[in-house]
Amino acid sequence: MRSYLAVMSAVILLASCGAKLPSDTDLFARAQEHEGRQEYNDALEKYDLIIENYPQSEIRYKAVFMKGLILLENLKDNKRAAETFDDLLAEYPDCDLADDAAVLREIAAGNGDIMSVFEDSLKQE
Q: What is the pLDDT of residues 7-41, one digit of tens each?
A: 555 555 555 555 689 999 999 999 999 999 999 99
CATH number at residue 76: 1.25.40.10
pLDDT at 13: 53
Residue 111 gets which letter from DSSP?
Answer: S
Instruction: Write the pLDDT tens digit of every residue in 48-99.
Output: 999 999 999 999 999 999 999 999 999 999 999 999 999 999 999 999 999 9
- In whole angstroms, what is the distance from residue 65 CA to residue 2 CA? 19
pLDDT at 111: 72
| Domain count within the chain | 1
Q: What are phi and psi of 23, to 5 degrees?
A: -65, 165
Q: Which domain holds residue 110?
A: 2-124
pTM listed for this prediction: 0.78
pLDDT at 57: 97
pLDDT at 33: 98
